Amino acid sequence: MTTDSTLMEEAAALKDTLVKDRRHIHAHPELSYNEEQTAAYVARRLEEMNIPFRTGIGGHGVVAILGADNHGPVVALRADMDALPIQEENKAPYASKNDGVMHACGHDAHTACLLGAARLLRDREKDLRGTVKLIFQPAEERLPGGASIMVEEGVLEDPDVEIIIGQHVFPDMEVGHVGFRSGMYMASSDEVYVTIKGKGGHGGLPHFAVDPVLITAHWITAAQQLVSRRAFAGIPTVVSFGRVEALGATNIIPDKVKIQGTIRTMDEKWREELHGLLRDLTTGMAESMGGSAEIEIRKGYPVLVNDDRVTKRARAVAEHLLGSDKVHDLDIRMASEDFAYYAQRVPACFYRIGTGNAAKKIGAPLHTSLFDIDEDALVVGAALMAAIAEDALKAEG
């Protein structure tokens, strides 16, 4: 492992620019598949840095190349650009100007960090032992995921990517710290839509009805038992239902109940098996109680697996750059990430950068209206992405 220790100093010198980029993007958030202005801003910044790029990939994706004429391997760095449908409650001067839309998952910081890494690597482009591909990705937050579309459109080809690196903000970790995990890291994510049908009637005369609410109560309990009694003990599994809609009344049994939920696991084979078990349970239980049911499972992002060798080298780079006391082991997360589509194709490392600061009372969770970051994390994120890319080129070359 070899890393230029001056990268942190160079990134620190760029802090004002990093903050400016992040705050501009934060103030002008755009939802998945609508990142037109964000992509235009990224393109302008790349143009200012004299970095060649292409736009319109996978929707509003932007891809830039550094060291295109260099002989050697190709390493990709990825940042996502989309925001969430959340009304921001922060009162900062850079708070969202778009009503009902907010960068509550830190993609503004991811994009700013990648722009910073681009600047750092551009300044040493001639010395790179290969090529760096910069992927500014749209639509991470919504199925089918911008990563899947960009992969289909050849983002990992021409030139062919050999390693890909991604990072994500982590408010639970103090700024200046980072976290890594080899192997299984983030869960698959599937959406479940169920309609249980019965026969409506008077709440005081249930014997004339087929109560879909009662069927639903049994079904939800039985679905949880698939996890507790059918899942393999060594494979983390979650089945959760976040929306149950009956639309009856105190004395009205409805004709149907609609349910929405999620399935998450850490094993692709078991994932498929669980889908089948849930389908059979749904139709079988409804019919056994005199009703009927329809179920749709929308397959989402796959399990995210970090390559062991790539992750170990990236971690070593972080230890050299930040100090071993600032680098931590991460637990598995049952959240999901469409970065997994890249990791299915090429060796990958997806890690976390701390953005919390207890002293400044910065630490609101992701996907909440008060989420914000300690902007010192932008320096860490930009430097670390550049350093990992530089080291990976040396290792693979």
Strand ordering across the sheet containing 237-245: 237-245, 256-265, 190-197, 292-298
Our answer to whether residue 140 is catalytic in this structure is: yes
First to last CA, the chain: 13
Q: Are 350 and 305 in contact (CB under 8 A)?
A: no
Q: Which helix (H) or strand (E) holds 176?
A: none
> Among 30, 88, 140, 174, which one carries the catalytic annotation?
140
User: For the CA atoms of 387, 330, 378, 63, what is the dihedral angle to 10 degrees?
Assistant: 60
> Among 21, 80, 82, 338, which one carries the catalytic annotation?
82
Concatenate the DSSP letters of all residues of 285-335 into one string.
Answer: HHHHTT-EEEEEEE-----EEE-HHHHHHHHHHHHHHH-GGGEEEPPPBSS
Our answer to whether residue 82 is catalytic in this structure is: yes
- For 254, the token pair is 């409805």
In three-state secondary structure terms, 134 is: strand
Residue 172 CA from chain centroid, whole number: 16
Say which residue the tokens 């989402």 belong to.
300
Q: Which helix (H) or strand (E) holds 150?
A: helix 146-152
Neighbours of 325 (CB within 10 A): 8
Please tell me the distance from the alpha carbon of residue 227 to that of residue 215, in angstroms, as a whole number: 19
Per the document, the length of the chain is 397
User: For the CA atoms of 111, 310, 350, 181, what is the dihedral angle to 10 degrees?
Assistant: -150
DSSP 390: H
- For 109, the token pair is 């910081």
Please tell me the distance from the alpha carbon of residue 207 to that of residue 122, in angstroms, as a whole number: 75
Please tell me the distance from the alpha carbon of residue 35 to that of residue 108, in angstroms, as a whole number: 12
Q: Which residues are catalytic?
A: 82, 140
